[in-house]
Structure formats: structure tokens, C-alpha cells
Structure 1
Amino acid sequence: MNKTRQHELIQWLKKQSTPARPWLRLSMLLGLLGGLLMIAQAGLLATLLQSLIIDHLPRHLLVTDLCWLLVVFVLRAIVSWCRERTSFVCGMRIRLLIRNRVLEKLAQLGPSWVRGKPAGSWTTIIIEQIEDMQDYYSRYLPQIYLSALIPLLILLAVFPINWVAGLILLTTAPLIPLFMVLVGMGAADANRRNFVALARLSGKFLDSLRGLDTLRLFYRAQAETKQIVETSEHFRRRTMEVLRLAFLSSAVLEFFAAVSIALVAVYFGFSYLGVLHFGNYHTEGVTLFSGFFLLLLAPEFFQPLRDLGTFYHAKAQALGAAESLVTFLTSEAEVAIEQGDKKLSGNTPIRLVANELEILAVNGTRLAGPLNFTVLAGQRIAIVGHSGAGKSSLLHLLLGFLPYRGSLKVEGIELRELNTEAWRHQVSWIGQNPYLPEKTLRANILLSQPNASNVQLQQAIDRAYINEFLVDLPEGLETEIGDHASRLSVGQAQRVAVARVLLNPCRLLLLDEPSASLDMHSEQRVMNALSRASYAQTTLLVTHQLENICDYDLIWVMDRGMLLQQGDYSTLCQTTGAFASLLSYRSKEG
């Protein structure tokens, strides 16, 4: 990583801390207060020993100093706890903001762009890399200032007592960050390579797990296992490279700190023996107070630098993560998805008109078109064709996930002129794999209409045939369905998605093969519920199941991105063409 790029990433990291700057400043102030309390604690302890051992003061005269020592000790512990808490909140807020930006960017680029990378690599970016920034914001940034301010405070306390000890500390202190920078110069590059290796391993492993049945079917499981082992070994080497640099820089720091503390101890040892007679500002020589006080402060002088050394690798780690994040956040689709600020009014089924419509991929490749069609308000249209014909691409375009050329008007307004977020509130969508993010069955049904009444909820449950399996669930609607709806079958989960749509009918209903992968009973229930729901809104259904579309108003037959035939079921059955070929193909499959 060149210096220019590294400087840009550091500036980006610091810019992200702006919203949490009050927490950052509070953390620094608490750290500074902790440093002052540490100096006070050392001074009180040295005073007590001087008074007790050398001055032989009665013990009852030391009670006040002892009480103050206990108060300072408690205050220092409280300040330390508050600083840890404040630092964590600071890092947490910044991580939350960065993660929201990443998720917003993913939503902006759309699923078509996201599918271009393995799912595991997105997991690495969204979770691991953002989490690895916690120590940078919560510890490293405050410690940069504290590593300069606290040693300065200690020097201000040391020099008035003994200038030799102060000079030793002042001379050796700059050597530590200097050698640490020299040793850790390649740490950012090592962390970046480590993140790349982790993303590759995550993507490979997750994709292999998802395709395990296919790999076994084609006898590729052993070869895939070998590739995962090789990728894991590559990641192990990158991790050890990072750890080697971390241990080396820690050793450098401890070496110089130990040498400096030893020099201070040797100086005071020879001073007490009467060999050295310089460094003090008074003639009676080195007192127990001055020696003990300065020996207590010597390790504390280097502690902020030790902490900075520990957290220095948090900076290198954050730089490695920032490179991936900045690259992603600044990436753009080759063809931008345009949007305006117009919003539709009304709540009636919508009308769609396409003229020379060409659907484009995010890289500019034409997926389908040119298409010319009119969808009347409330019309029910089934779209059929072989895989890759462009059916799902049309639905993705209507959802605002793909760019286009030509014209596609919604209620007379060009789709690209509509506000995307407002437009999506007008659309209901059900795909092949239902997404149930909430904890309980009730919460998932009420996801789009949380204020629905119990009567409305029960109607949706009845119409989606959820009551057929509801009695088998131990806690009914309050049953926790688990991660990825693991307690429900695919058919049951799809019925929950249907109930969600029934509870909150929109102006346009998009169905992307909702009965795929369902058993016969579940398919019948889902399609019956959706068929009844489709009469209340304009509906586009993509399907391979030709027997479910007999009563639809129109059937569109697509092939290689073109709309080849339009008509109702009976008309197309009597016409030679693409639909007749599909019927023949399906009958042979059956």
C-alpha cells in the first residue's frame, strides 16, 4: 500500500469518527483524568512511606493521607470503568454508522450487483471487517493523544524533583514510537492481505456448503475439500505474518521501556549508595520520597506508549479493513439506476405501459428487450418461458434493481422519475425463498402491517391456510421459528409470506415462481391464496407451472429476452408457437 493511499484511508477513517466526536473527546478527558489520579496516587503513597519510615511521624497523623489514598484509588477505578464504557460506545456508534452505509450501498446497487460476489465475502465485509474497526476508534484514536499528554504530565511532575530521572525518560521516550513505526511499517499491508485471504476463504466455504448436494451429485466434494484446505492454509500463513509483526513490535517496545526503567533504578541505587551526587535541587541528597515517587512514575511514563503499541495494530487492522470498505462504498454500477423524486398518489391498482423497453444488467449488458406492452389496472398476467428468458429480470426492473433504456411508465409517470423507496411501498413481492427475519410467527406475519387488528390477522391466517399447521406449533403464533425459519418447512414459510402480502395489499403484486420447490399440497394452497389475492391488485406472475395460469387474463410468452406471444390460455393453446412448444415440453417432462 503506497503512502498516498494510506493517507487517504487514514483521512477516511478519521472522517467516520465525526458523528461520535463528543464520545471520543470524553474518552480522552477521562484518560487524562486517570493520568492525573495516577500521579496523585503515587505522590500520596511516597509521602506515606517517607513520613512513616524516614520522618517517624505518629501513625494517627497519617490517617488523612491514607484516606486520601483510598479515595484516589477508588476514583481511579471509577474513571477507568467510565473510560472503558465511553470508548466502547464511541466505537459502537461509528461501527453502526459504517454498517448502515454499507447496507444502504448494497440496497442501492441491488441484488443483481451483489450476486456478482460470493455471499461469504459480503459476510466478511459487513461483519468481520467492520467489527475489526472497534479498537481503532475506541482505543487507538484516544490513545494517540494520551500517549503524548500523560507522559508530559509525568515529566512536569518529575523534573521539579530530579532532573536526571526526567532527562532519562525524556531521552528514551521518542525511541519507542520511532522503532515501532519502523518495525510495523508493513503491518497495514499484512492486514490487508489477511482480509483478502479471509474474504476468499469465507466466500469459498459458504458457497461450498450451499452447493454441497450438487458437488456430491457430480463427485466433486473431494476436490472442493482440497481447495478449501489450500485456501485455509493460505489464510493461516497470512494470519501468522500479522502476528509475527505484532510480536516483534511488542518486543521492541518492551525492550526500550525496560532499559529506561532500569537506568532510572540504577541511577537512584547509586545515588542512595552515595556514588552519584547530581540530579537533585537540594543538598541533602535523594530522599525516600523522591526515589520511590519517581520509580513509581517511571513504568507509568511508558504505559501510554505501551498501550499505543498494543493498539497500533488496531490501526493497521483498520487500514486493511478500510481499503475493502472504501473500494466497495465508492464502487458504482457501470450503468446507474436512475431515480427521481416523484411519488404516486391513490391506492387503486396501477397501469403499466412499456415502449421499446430494454432491460440492462448493472454492467450495461442487455438482458431483455426491446419490449412493448400495456398492463391495465387490475389485470392479472402470467409470464412463462424457459429459464434465462428474461422473466425475473422484468420483475427486478419493476422493483428498481436494474437500469433500463426506452420507456416504462407507471400511471403515466416514467419509472426512473419515481422515488424508488416510495415506489417500493406500492409493490408486494413474493419469490421462491421466503424471508422471515423476525423471531416469532406473529411478528413475521405483521412485518409490513404491525398495527393490524386481531380480526385482520385472523383473516390473513385463514386465507393463507396457516391454520392448517398452526395447531401443531407448541406456542401457536408466539412460536419462535428459529434462524432462516428452521422450524417451518419451505411450504409453511411460503404461506407466512403470502399471509404478509394478504395483510397489506399493495397496488402491484409481483410473484417470482412462488410455488417452486413446494410439495403438491403446499403448492396448491399457496397458489389458491395468491390467485384470490391477485384480483385486488395488478399482478405479474412468473412461473413454470402452466397448469396454474388457466384463469389469468393474459399470458406472456418470453424467450431470449423477447416477448413472443400474448393472449389468454385458451387462445394460446389453439395457436402454434412458443406457448404450444412449452406445453409440449412440460407434458414430456411430466
Structure 2
Amino acid sequence: MDKQLQRDLTKWLKSQSKLAKRWLMLSVGLGFLSGLLLVGQAALLAHILHQLIIEHTDKYQLVSSFGGLFAIVGLRAACSWGREIYGYRCGEQIRLHIRQLILLRLQQLGPAYIKGKPAGVWASLVLEQVEEMQDFFSRYIPQMSIAVLVPMVILFAVFPLNWAAGLIFLITAPLVPMFMALVGLGAADANRRNFKALQRLSGHFYDRLQGLSTLRLFNRAEAEAENLHAASHVLRKRTMEVLRMAFLSSAVLEFFSALSVAITAVYFGFSFIGELNFGHYGVPISLFTGLFILVLAPEFYQPLRDLGTFYHAKAQAIGAAESIVEFLNSDADGMSQGQTNLESPETISITADQLEVLSPQSQVLAGPLSFTIHPHEQVALVGPSGAGKTSLLNALLGFLPYRGSLKINGTELKELDHSQWRQAISWVGQNPLLLHGTVRDNITLGNPLATEEHIKQVSQQANADEFIQRLEKGYHHQVGDRSGGLSVGQAQRIAVARAMLQSGAFWILDEPTASLDANSEHLVLESLKNAVSGQTTLMVSHRLDQLAAMDRVLVMENGKLVQNGSFEHIRQQGLLADMLAHTDKRDLDA
């Protein structure tokens, strides 16, 4: 990974920590207090041993010292407990914020952008990669301050007693972070490769899991299992690289810490036997001084060692942040929206002038298109597969960027508040999507405050009430993911009731009867006919026998608008005539 990129990602991560400054300060404050208590603990322990060994003091005279020692140990344990709690709260608050940023960005980019990557990739981004930042915010960031404050406290305690020991600490201390940085140079790269492998495996596994029935029918289950095995092997290899870095970092830190403590111990050992005679300000080194500094010696390096232990959390967070920051900064200028309120939302008119619908990568999907849909007009949109109908619908819904002009009630769509614009839309698609919850929850998805009377009324109008009443719990019947437990026709009627409850002035019908049997199709069409009466409507349909009831027909081919007029006017020529002839021939063959 580029060093400048690492610095930018580290800067971004640290900027997020400001959101939990209170918890961070509490965690650092308790760590600093624990350092002060540590000096007191070392002094009491050295005092007790000096009195018992050198002064031969009766142990009963040291009861107060023993009591103070136990009290300090208890207080340090409480500080450690508090640090863990506040550190976790710090990481939790920041993770919630980052997840909110990701979800808001996903909402802004819309489903057309999301479908460009497997669902497993988004699951990995929102779940695993955000979770991997916990230790960075809860442990590494506080430890950076503690690794400076606690050694400074110990140096202030040691230098007045023995400048030689303080000098040993001061000279050897930089070795720990220096070698920690050297070992950690490749850690961010290893973690980045690990997350990429995890994303690929998540996406691959989720997609294959969704299509398991198809794979079994085509006898490809074992072959895909081999592909999953290969992807998991790559992930295992990348994970072992990360672990190898972590273990190497820990080993290096332990080595230099132990070496520094050993040098201090050797210095005091030779001083006690009279071989070394410096560092004591002219006062002989006592057992108290030696024990006090030797007890503090490993503790002097402990914050630095902890920082090194948590350094892999920084590398982990940088590796995770790369994909997150890249996603948050993804170029989607065409998806920007304004704050202008929609004028007269109870009546909708749409005007497109040289409209070009773009993909999230700025490729032209359809256009240029020029047309007008007048208030209360019912318009059909037809054309062969791949003509650009779905792209046009996505642009109207604000899910795809565009060039040219697309005005709603005279206001450019880019300038509108998309959330308010979508409140004016009632949408029924060809594949009804019901969410996990009750039937009532799914009907009230766009209007949670609806009354029970209103819910029952729209259900009756959508011909859904009759089968809902037969369910064991009626409107409180639990619906599984992807309409589990209901037929496609039943799910579609619930979707129609949901659209009716939203009471939009602009109806978009995207082949609402494409997957239905004859009886369900009749019921859905009957309910939709009553619902869209008097409303501005745009219906995408392959059923050409439904076009005669529409006020106007738009015909698309290869992303262009090739015909525009009433059904009777354009049915005798052009692409629509060819489509009608093909339909008639197919019906005769049947």
C-alpha cells in the first residue's frame, strides 16, 4: 500500500475518534491514573522489602504499608476495568457512526449501484470490516497517549533517585516503537489483502447460496464447492500472513523489552557489589532504590509493548478503512440531490428533454430521450428486452444519474428532495418483495401511521383481504424473507395494497402481472385499474393486449424512443406493429 495512502487512511481514522472524545479521555485518564498508582505501588513494595530485609523492622509495624499496597492494587484493577469499559464505549460509538455513514451512502447511491457488486461484499463492508476497527479505537488510540504519559511519570520518579537507570530507560525506550514500525510496515498490506479475500469469499458464497437450487439442477454443486474451497484457501493464506506479522511484532517487542530490563538489572547488580560507582548523586544505592527501579523497569516498557501488541489493530483498521473510504468517496456526482420541495405533489407531470440515463460509472444506458407525461395521463412503456425501459424507470426514481433535463412539475429532478419525490410515487414491480415481518408491517411499509380501518380498506380494494382473513393470525401472520409462506399472486396483491396505502399521485407499474397465473392476474389488474384511475401512470408491460386501455404508448428500442402516440395511431407501423404481429403469430402457434 502506498505510504501516502496509509497516512491519509490513518488521518481519516483518527478524525473519526473525535466523535467519542469523552470516552477516549476517560480511558486515557484512567490509564494515566493507573500509572501514578503504579509508582506508589512500586515505592510501597520496595519500602516494605527494604524495611524487612535491611532494617529488620517487625512486620506488624508495616501493617499500614501492607494495607496501602493492597488498596493500590485494588484501585489499579478498578482503573483497568474502567479502561476496558470506556474503551469499548469509544469503539462502539465510532463503529455505529461509520455504519451510519455507509448505510446513508448506500441509500444515496441507490439499488442500481448496489447491484453492481455481490451482496456478500456489502455484508462484509458493513459487518466484518467495521467490526475490525473496534480494537483500533478502543485500545490503540488510547494506548498511544498512555505509552507517552506513563513512561514520563516513571522517568520523573526514577531520575531523582538514579540518573544512570533513567538514562538507560531513556536510550532504550525508542528501540521498541522503532522496531515496531519496521515490523509493521507490511502489516497494513497484509490486512488489506486479507479483507479483499474475505470480500470475494463472502460475495461468492452468498451468490452461490442463493442459487443453490439452480446449481443442483444443473449438477454444478460439486464444481462450485471446489471454487469455494479455492477461495477459502486464499483467505486462509492471507489470514496466516496477518498472524505471522502479529507474532513477529510481539516477539521483537518482547526481545527488546527484556534486553532493556536486563541491562538495568545488570547495572544494579554490579553497583551492589561495588563494580560500578556512578548514577547515584553521591549517595550509595540502597536496596529501596534498586528494588523500586527494578520493579518499575518492566512497567516502563509495558505501555510500549502494549502499543506494539495493539499495533496490529492499527494495521487491521487501515486495511478495513481502505474499502470503506473508497466507497464513501465513490464518484457519484450525478446522484446528488437538492433540497427543493415538489410543487403540487397531488398532481404529477413529467418532461424529459434530451435525457441520457447513465450508469454509476457514467456509461450511457439509454437516450437521448424527449417526451412529456401530462397530469392524469396513463402511459404505457414497451419495447424488447434490453431497450432501456428499466434504466428509464431507475432514472425517474432517482436511482441512476442522468444528463440533459428531467423535470417533475417543472422542477429539475436533481434539484428535488428525492425522499419527498418518492413519497409521491406508488410503485408496483414484477417481483413483489415482502420483508420479514407481519402482513400488516408489509402493507404499512410506506405509511406506518395508517389506521386499521384504512389498512383493511386498501386490502379489500387490492383483493388481498379475502386470503389474509384465511391466514391463522390474519394481518399479524408472519411473512418470511422473500415472501416466504405466500404465493406470488398473494404477495403481489399485498404489494398493490401497500402502493394504494401510500396514495401516490404518480404510479409506476413495472410489469405487475408478469409472474402471475390467470386468476391472480385478473384480480391484480382489477384492483390496479381502480387504484390508478385519475392518476398519472407509467406502466411497463410486455402484455400488448393491455395497451388499448392506455392514453398513450412510448416504444423504446436500443435505448432510444422510436414511437410515441396513441395505441390506435401507432399500431399499424414501426416496431409496435412488428411486436403485435409477432405476438399474434405466437398465439396462433400456441
TM-score bin, normalised by smaller chain: 0.7 to 0.9
Q: Secondary structure at the match of 1:541?
A: strand
Alignment of 1:163-562 (within 5 A): 163-216=163-216, 220-268=220-268, 280=280, 285-287=285-287, 289-333=288-332, 336-337=334-335, 339-437=337-435, 439-471=437-469, 475-484=473-482, 486-518=484-516, 521-535=519-533, 537-546=535-544, 551-562=549-560
Deviation at 1:498, TM superposition (A): 2.9
Deviation at 1:76, TM superposition (A): 2.5
Alpha-carbon distance in structure 1 between the residues aligned to 2:372 and 2:84: 62
Deviation at 1:427, TM superposition (A): 1.9
Q: Secondary structure at the match of 2:110?
A: helix
Count residues with an aligned counterpart: 588
Contact 1:48 1:62 survives alignment (8 Å):
yes
Q: TM-score, normalised by structure 2?
A: 0.88
Which has the larger displacement, 105-114 or 179-188?
105-114
Deviation at 1:164, TM superposition (A): 4.2
Q: Secondary structure at the match of 2:400?
A: coil
Alpha-carbon distance in structure 1 between the residues aligned to 2:210 and 2:181: 43
Partner of 1:8: 8
1:239-268 CA-to-partner distances (Å, cap 9, x unmatched) read: 222211111111111112222333444555
Contact 2:343 2:409 survives alignment (8 Å):
no
Deviation at 1:234, TM superposition (A): 2.2
CA 579–297 in structure 1, closer or farther in 2 if over 3 Å, else same: same
> Which runs of 5 or more residues in structure 2 are unaligned?
none
Matching residue's letter, 1:168: I
Partner of 1:150: 150
Q: Secondary structure at the match of 2:371?
A: strand
Which has the larger displacement, 110-119 or 189-198?
110-119
1:73 aligns with 2:54: no
Deviation at 1:505, TM superposition (A): 1.0
CA 268–589 in structure 1, closer or farther in 2 if over 3 Å, else same: farther
Alpha-carbon distance in structure 2 between the residues aligned to 1:520 and 1:196: 48
Q: Secondary structure at the match of 2:379?
A: strand
1:314-333 CA-to-partner distances (Å, cap 9, x unmatched) read: 11122222222333333314
Matching residue's letter, 1:313: H
Contact 1:505 1:537 survives alignment (8 Å):
no
Alpha-carbon distance in structure 2 between the residues aligned to 1:476 and 1:38: 66
Deviation at 1:373, TM superposition (A): 2.9
Deviation at 1:150, TM superposition (A): 0.9
Deviation at 1:343, TM superposition (A): 1.9
Deviation at 1:52, TM superposition (A): 5.4
Q: Secondary structure at the match of 2:186?
A: helix
1:164-212 CA-to-partner distances (Å, cap 9, x unmatched) read: 4434333322211111222221111222222222222222333333344
Deviation at 1:558, TM superposition (A): 2.8
Deviation at 1:485, TM superposition (A): 5.1
CA 88–469 in structure 1, closer or farther in 2 if over 3 Å, else same: farther
CA 135–216 in structure 1, closer or farther in 2 if over 3 Å, else same: same
Alpha-carbon distance in structure 1 between the residues aligned to 2:435 and 2:337: 28
Contact 1:37 1:76 survives alignment (8 Å):
yes
Matching residue's letter, 2:555: V
CA 521–141 in structure 1, closer or farther in 2 if over 3 Å, else same: farther
Contact 1:557 1:579 survives alignment (8 Å):
no
Q: Secondary structure at the match of 1:460?
A: helix
Contact 1:354 1:408 survives alignment (8 Å):
yes
Matching residue's letter, 2:425: V
Deviation at 1:36, TM superposition (A): 1.8
Deviation at 1:527, TM superposition (A): 3.9
Matching residue's letter, 2:531: A
Alpha-carbon distance in structure 2 between the residues aligned to 1:519 and 1:74: 74
Alpha-carbon distance in structure 1 between the residues aligned to 2:459 and 2:214: 36
Contact 2:342 2:417 survives alignment (8 Å):
no
Contact 1:28 1:143 survives alignment (8 Å):
yes
1:99 aligns with 2:99: yes
> What is the percent sequence identity of the aligned residues?
52
* CA RMSD across the alignment: 3.3
Alpha-carbon distance in structure 2 between the residues aligned to 1:303 and 1:585: 84
CA 493–87 in structure 1, closer or farther in 2 if over 3 Å, else same: farther
Which has the larger displacement, 539-548 or 234-243?
539-548
CA 85–567 in structure 1, closer or farther in 2 if over 3 Å, else same: same
Partner of 1:43: 43
Contact 2:456 2:465 survives alignment (8 Å):
no
> Which runs of 5 or more residues in structure 1 are unaligned?
none
Partner of 2:118: 118
Matching residue's letter, 2:35: G
Q: Secondary structure at the match of 2:532?
A: helix
Contact 1:140 1:308 survives alignment (8 Å):
yes
Which has the larger displacement, 201-210 or 132-141?
201-210
Deviation at 1:132, TM superposition (A): 1.7
Alpha-carbon distance in structure 1 between the residues aligned to 2:152 and 2:562: 80
Matching residue's letter, 2:389: K
Deviation at 1:312, TM superposition (A): 0.8
Q: Secondary structure at the match of 1:451?
A: coil
Contact 1:280 1:286 survives alignment (8 Å):
no
Deviation at 1:551, TM superposition (A): 3.8
Alpha-carbon distance in structure 2 between the residues aligned to 1:23 and 1:570: 71
Alpha-carbon distance in structure 2 between the residues aligned to 1:133 and 1:583: 58
CA 458–48 in structure 1, closer or farther in 2 if over 3 Å, else same: farther
Matching residue's letter, 2:365: L
CA 396–34 in structure 1, closer or farther in 2 if over 3 Å, else same: same
Matching residue's letter, 1:401: F
Matching residue's letter, 1:23: W
Contact 2:548 2:567 survives alignment (8 Å):
yes
Partner of 2:20: 20
Which has the larger displacement, 519-528 or 78-87?
519-528
Deviation at 1:214, TM superposition (A): 4.4
Alpha-carbon distance in structure 2 between the residues aligned to 1:71 and 1:483: 56
Partner of 1:139: 139
Alpha-carbon distance in structure 1 between the residues aligned to 2:45 and 2:466: 76
Alpha-carbon distance in structure 2 between the residues aligned to 1:93 and 1:588: 66
Q: TM-score, normalised by structure 1?
A: 0.88
Q: Secondary structure at the match of 2:369?
A: strand
Alpha-carbon distance in structure 2 between the residues aligned to 1:17 and 1:342: 34
